[in-house]
Chains A and B, each alone.
Chain A
């Protein structure tokens, strides 16, 4: 208090030193401007109403002094606060309290080819701002959306640094592989789809460059992107400069990552006991080292060897600023994330700059560049080392006494030394990309503008693989090999837009946009290989033996030509209409079928703007939205699917051979998705409670799909022709999305805000026009290629498909049952097996005879689980207390199933590799009468876990018990404490002295804890290779790390 007084006195004295011109009827007004919490506001503009020159701003304590005529009015304005006008009326000292603007209402939302005030939206659009990005440790922009945007389901496909995500906006709308939305980053369209689990096309983008992300969900919002929009559109705006003093921001953190969970695998002693049991059962030869397991140590813990604490650092620097006519933003970023698994990691450099300039009053131009370079180490995942890590036995030592890598002592059951391999092999990808956008915008007449824009994205991807010579115990590799590949991609889009804005009679507001766009994307690929290197030192191809050289190359181009228009009409800010129409032609589809129209229309009613609502002040905002639209998808997996091509085959000495490459579909056309949406936006109590609800129905027709054909058509395996792509079938998605934001407490020193999002989606296949009517997907493991999911008419997409375990043969009578008529019948057992010790026996699983034909065979497989969650949700809570900030964010999924596929091996006690501890709990059999024969009538289960089968000597019985059944399907529901962050803003007084605007120190804990019954590493499984039909199958997924970071955010 004293300090303030003193300051005020000094200020007043200072003011007195200024010569005062006492003019008649002029008075001096002193005042203070504060916010609702009583905090002084600095730099608030105070203008005398009606005067263009007489004005001032508040000082560091929120005080101002102005000379104005008596009875003048003051206009007081401040960014982010509601403007207000104060009547002086003889007062010489005034206090003004400015109310903060309700952010979301005045927020500008980026929509296709333009932007709009959130209040004017007619479609379903969800936004995530940079605050959310700052409050979590994200390395890729798609991670931000997880649990934060209703209607968007995000799953990480792998915990590997730089790996891909599965992002589903409003469910699954295509079976052709990609269901990823497109990302429009400052006008550049980037496809989110990837064909591998490890690579993520979005990983080159630095999340801290992002100002906002707007998710366009329903067709009325996305239709303007008609041709690419079937899976939704995510608009990303990067940070741009503002006029005013330059601001420099540094944000950096350091941290470490660790495995959140370990699987309980056998140690050496336990392994020895099991091996002895296996040799007693005649499965393996006895091991002379294991005569006294109790004398053995723990052996190698391969999980500890391969998974380590891994460091992570990030530094970001940005400078923004500008004058009235020019604004700029410059940014640089660096990220280095080592993987928790040895042989993985990700490093990225980003640079970007944008400049906007008002050349003439009527002409504006801008340029925007972003350069990125990233390096991803993928040895661990490419070599499937997670499986080796889990399966390698504790017998094998990691290193020899001299520090070199050891390995198995015989080549009998060769599993390599995963650590040795991870550290010896070179395998990384380097990506360099330049993304840019330039535009010129002319205002021709009042309200009429023309914009021409060229955006481009160049990408260079180099892969480096080098396999040195090594010896791990008896595994010897003397062949040194090197592989290099270079690919280059070039995308550009040229776009012209005419925009017309007008208001007629003050109530009819019209915005009309017309546009044209041409897009081309092309890629080239070049590959080289040599072996026969002299040493492990130099890795480039020229060091290899030229006679071993292999090389290849290919390329592809696709183009898209589009015309579109949008009309926005608003009557008296109460009734809103948005209508769009788009016409697209694609080079990927057959001539004559490659052009299509995509219309949409949406209506909204701002109920709160009606006069009858004025009496209900508690309802701050109420808007009802209704929309319909049609969008397309041209995502054909093969170029030239509409024509017949021949592909080359190498021959030994006869030159290039040729084989038919595909079966053409000369009628290949667009896949179309129509969707309807009803939504409500509700704001209560001065928008302290904001609630949005949307209900939608989405139907995709003419599904683009490679025809699922049996192998005898010649479309499977090496040398086959690709099956034709067709427009087959249709699929529906319907769902509900809710989001709720509340300001629970908003006191001077303490605030508490919550957010809640809820997403519910149901999908169903309505039609598959193939004769066979089902779509299977497979997982190959060793030489077994198994159907794991089936998609069929009337069913949800990609359900797990296998056998059902209905129990275990516990006693002899279980082999028979009484049917409805009271006849005794034999229980169904697998075809080709008999009741015998090497066949079906006490302790084996009983499978459901689905088709009731008395035997268990392929026809008895059925749907055993749906990977789609019943719903997903996110809960966020933010607290501030004085200078402290605290936030907790939880994300969850309910009702989805996961296949823990590796349990088929890791829980099978007969396997010749390390297994889970649970495998040792197999059913133990004993004779009822010790003197009796080994006969199923004389056996009972004397021990073990009640859910485990016996350990059988015969491979047939073991294969039968560990067939793909619901035994391996687990509940995938989880609630994850995704993020806890705590931040402290250093006191402003101190900062002022240092001329620093703000310093925040923070700590962040990511992937804190997961509540889940799932037995594998991580219930967030995602989809293998982003393939929607392989969702929820955990077959050695790289676990997501727990991340601890400490950082500082500095602005001056």
Chain B
């Protein structure tokens, strides 16, 4: 008995001591489902993996509803009186609480934040990689960040500029910077990207220097209109020239060309075609967050999607946009909007194609086609419920062609410049239309609207115009009579669109100079009252790149 007691006493004393000695390692846990920063950024493939995420997930909340809700909804390309992600924008009644507005704001800043993380982590942590490899990856991230800032500058004007999110985490209450600084920040990022991105890439869909030049041409063109007087009616020639030069690089040096068939642009198998300069890269059958949800919001019937996610019955083309199509422009119209009697062989393939014979309150109004790709069987597994692998175009070559023409047109009322006509007419002739001999701003506006309808662009065209011809834009919006025009009868053969005027259709707000910008999301203002105060100039630290066009 005594020996046993002693044995136990020994055990008692020994066990805790043994455990103390190993308890520190007992608390040391290494993750198995994540990487830590210490063991990453060690090779070129690490760098590539770190920028790959910037092409989809961070843009998801922007793409989901805001891309078209604002880009096309607010510019009256759409009529969706029951979709609260569209009508607040087209009715100009959005508030600081409007869902897509809040999530897009967050999405732009996620693009910015994750780009900053890539840039800063590469600068701080990367080993075993060349300066060139570093610059390429940083250029990719800066392209993304610059693009996001262009959106912020266009939509909200003054915005918070962030270069290091870890600092912002500790001190989140900061001032905004004025719109011009936000523009400049975007241009500096895109200029860096244009300088350091490669001309060709091994992975289809990655950014090239042509993507950066193309985006720069858009941003320069926008910026050229900004002055203290929103009705100055003239644009800054320096930036018009820059826009022209940047577009020229893409049009004349890139070797890229338009797809021959416009409708083919919007098929999953043609993702990353030569015309695509920057497109969000959605994952076939991917997890929620890396897929394109547009089809679910646009498809007018669940027979198209093959599931119950087809919420687009009342998400229609507006009478206004349908009337914009000229006679003979049926290729683009059909690829963008469905008209009564249209047949789409790529949809419902099992039954030999889909014929659109939907009526809205016994009227032949048009549902949306762009973004609608068909069921899982139609796409051979590349689409499913709320999920398609169709890339979202952020910049296409044909837009750069039109920018090129517009930059050449500059402050003139019209132009017959040969180069401008060549590129302008390339866009038209592909659509099966006759070439023009002289073009005005109105021609370009019309062409851009039709060519890029449902690609989230037309509102930015109006914003761009309003920088120097604000009253014209406001009048133009207010004359559209969004309050009373709802459904319409469209005859695709005669191309005649007969709108109905409903005395009580909608309560819309008037377009005003203030409404050319969006309100900051309420949750942001609550947490940072400085958002409502005057902006503070941004202190740029690096030198701006000036040798892009030498």
Contacts and interface: CB of A to CB of B under 8 A. Distances in A.
Partners in one complex: yes
Interface of A: 281-283, 285, 362, 410-414, 416, 442, 444-445, 450, 452, 474-479, 481, 496, 498, 516, 518, 520, 531-532, 545, 547-550, 552-561, 563, 585-587, 594, 639-640, 643-647, 649-661, 663, 707-721, 723-724, 770-772, 774, 776, 778, 780, 782-787, 832, 838-839, 858, 912, 952-957, 959
B309 to A, nearest CB: 9
B53 A714 contact: no
B132 to A, nearest CB: 20
A578 B120 CA distance: 54
B302 A476 contact: yes
B494 interface: no
Given A650-B287, A654-B205, 18 more contacts: A477-B308, A516-B16, A518-B26, A531-B376, A559-B26, A652-B56, A652-B205, A652-B284, A652-B286, A658-B50, A710-B524, A714-B110, A719-B57, A772-B172, A772-B527, A776-B526, A785-B97, A955-B506
A559 B23 CA distance: 10
Interface string B91-102: 101011111101
A719 B110 contact: yes
A545 B376 CA distance: 11
Contacts of A707: 169
A956 B173 contact: no
Given A558-B29, A646-B40, A956-B91, A410 B313 contact: yes
A858 B384 CA distance: 39
In the complex, the 8 A-B pairs of residues with the closest C-beta atoms, listed nearest first: A714-B113, A282-B504, A954-B507, A783-B99, A657-B52, A838-B507, A719-B58, A554-B33
A520 B27 CA distance: 9
A518 B55 contact: no
Contacts of B31: 556, 639-640, 645
B513 to A, nearest CB: 14
Contacts of B206: 654
Given A650-B290, A721-B165, A956-B507, A444 B9 contact: yes
Contacts of A655: 49, 52
Nearest to A522: B29
B385 A481 contact: yes
A857 B166 CA distance: 32
A711 B506 contact: no
Nearest to A640: B31
A548 B377 CA distance: 11
A780 B65 CA distance: 15
Given A496-B16, A714-B110, A651 B281 contact: yes
Interface of B: 1, 4-5, 8-9, 11-12, 15-16, 19-20, 23-24, 26-29, 31-37, 40, 48-61, 65, 82, 84-85, 87, 91, 93, 95-100, 102-103, 105-107, 109-114, 116-117, 121, 160, 162, 165-166, 168-169, 171-173, 203-206, 271, 281-287, 289-290, 300-303, 305-308, 310-311, 313-314, 361, 375-377, 380-381, 384-385, 389, 483, 502-509, 521-528
A716 B96 CA distance: 16
Most central of A285, A477, A652, A724 by chain B CB within 10 Å: A652
A659 B376 contact: no
B82 A413 contact: yes
Nearest to B504: A282
Most central of A452, A475, A719, A771 by chain B CB within 10 Å: A719
Contact of A660 (B65, B121, B160, B300): B121
Contacts of A956: 91, 93, 507, 509
Nearest to B287: A650
Contact of B527 (A586, A647, A709, A720): A709
15 contacts: A281-B504, A479-B384, A585-B23, A644-B37, A645-B34, A650-B287, A657-B55, A659-B54, A711-B102, A711-B106, A718-B110, A719-B57, A772-B527, A783-B65, A955-B91
A661 B9 CA distance: 49
A123 B96 CA distance: 51
A523 to B, nearest CB: 11
A771 B526 contact: no
Given A285-B361, A659-B58, A416 B308 contact: yes
A813 to B, nearest CB: 24
A912 B12 CA distance: 73
B40 A651 contact: no
B27 A411 contact: no
Contacts of B504: 281-283, 953
A135 B28 CA distance: 48
Contacts of A714: 109-110, 112-114, 116, 162, 165
Nearest to A839: B507
B169 A724 contact: yes
Contacts of B110: 714, 716-720
Contacts of B24: 585
A784 B290 contact: no
A713 B507 contact: no
B314 A450 contact: no
A783 B311 CA distance: 14
Contact of B160 (A557, A712, A776, A784): A712
Contacts of B49: 654-658
Nearest to B162: A712
Contact of A478 (B12, B53, B375, B502): B375
Given A709-B527, A783-B100, A955-B507, A663 B107 contact: no
Contact of A716 (B15, B106, B171): B106
B400 to A, nearest CB: 24
B34 A649 contact: no
A474 B305 CA distance: 13
B234 to A, nearest CB: 32
A999 to B, nearest CB: 48
B36 A640 contact: yes
Given A474-B302, A651-B56, A771-B173, A708 B527 contact: yes
B530 to A, nearest CB: 11
A694 to B, nearest CB: 35
Contacts of B50: 646, 657-659
Contacts of B281: 651-652, 654
A643 B4 CA distance: 48
Given A496-B12, A655-B52, A561 B172 contact: no
A254 to B, nearest CB: 38
Most central of B31, B203, B308, B504 by chain A CB within 10 Å: B308
A787 B526 CA distance: 10
Given A442-B8, A646-B34, A719-B58, A412 B313 contact: yes
Most central of B49, B305, B361 by chain A CB within 10 Å: B49
Given A639-B31, A714-B110, A858 B522 contact: yes
A663 B16 contact: no
A774 B527 contact: yes
A547 B5 CA distance: 67
Given A479-B384, A652-B284, A444 B8 contact: yes
Nearest to B102: A785
B101 to A, nearest CB: 9
Contacts of A644: 36-37
A861 to B, nearest CB: 9
A784 B97 contact: yes
Contacts of A650: 56, 283, 286-287, 290
Contacts of B311: 414
Contact of A720 (B19, B106, B503): B106
Most central of A479, A520, A585, A912 by chain B CB within 10 Å: A479
A657 B29 CA distance: 24
A711 B105 CA distance: 8
B90 to A, nearest CB: 11
Most central of B28, B113, B385 by chain A CB within 10 Å: B113
A649 B523 contact: no
A660 B376 contact: no
B376 A532 contact: yes
Given A639-B31, A783-B84, A710 B528 contact: yes
